[in-house]
Amino acid sequence: MRLCAALHDRVLPLGHPAVRTLVLQSLFQMGSLCRGSKERVYPEHRTGWDAEGGALEALGYELERLAEQLDDTPRDHDAVLLLGEVAAYLGDWAPLCNSVARRFAAMTSRAADGLVSWLGTELQAREHVLAWAGKPLWSVLFLAEQHALIKPA
């Protein structure tokens, strides 16, 4: 599968909106349908993709490898969102992709928690600045010390 090769070679800018559209369309396209084993209906171009060593297994391992790499780079939010959606979609056929999707979800949850924490701190600081505007410097330092915003000298 070409998507698997592109993910392996890291040639796609995963944060770009056009790449997101391309990747999702390549996954979601149906094409001709056929019946597989166990009486499940598959798109014809995916016949055998869930066999051992097939494209689905390879995609699962590539997604797992990318999850490991992206876990350390919290700035690639768009890539994490895209790959999490891909893993969640593929999780219907591959248990490995379910665990990878949960890992991507945990990354987004940590990023959201950090953002909420940062926003809370920023808003508190701005409230204090607005409350202390126009007061003498010694008064502001005393109040900051009392609110544990600075350590006493």
Q: What is the predicted pLDDT for the residue at 11?
A: 92
Query: What CA–CA distances, in Å, run from 38 to 25, 35, 41, 42, 97?
Result: 26, 8, 9, 11, 21
Amino acid at 2: R
Q: What is the predicted pLDDT for the residue at 133?
A: 64
Q: Is 75 helix (H, G, I), strand (E, B) or coil?
A: coil
Q: What is the predicted pLDDT for the residue at 150?
A: 47
Do 10 and 70 lie in one domain? The reply is yes
The predicted model scores a pTM of 0.68
Do 13 and 81 lie in one domain? The reply is yes
Do 88 and 123 lie in one domain? The reply is no
Q: What is the predicted pLDDT for the residue at 3?
A: 84
Q: Which residues of 70-95 are buried (b: 16+ CB within 10 A; e: fewer)?
A: beeeeebbebbbbbbbbbbebbebbe
Place of tokens 């070409």: 2
108 with 81: CB under 8 angstroms? Answer: yes
Cα separation, 28 vs 88, whole angstroms: 12
Q: What is the predicted pLDDT for the residue at 74?
A: 63
Do 90 and 125 lie in one domain? The reply is no
What range defines the domain where residue 128 resides? Answer: 119-146
Place of tokens 């924490």: 117
In the chain, the number of structural domains is 2
Q: What is the predicted pLDDT for the residue at 126?
A: 67
* Token reading at 136: 């003498």
Q: What is the predicted pLDDT for the residue at 4?
A: 85
pLDDT tens per residue, the chain (153 residues)? 688 889 889 999 998 999 999 998 888 775 677 776 677 776 666 656 666 777 788 899 999 999 999 987 767 888 988 999 999 988 888 888 999 999 999 888 888 787 777 767 766 766 666 665 666 555 555 555 555 554 554
Do 70 and 91 lie in one domain? The reply is yes
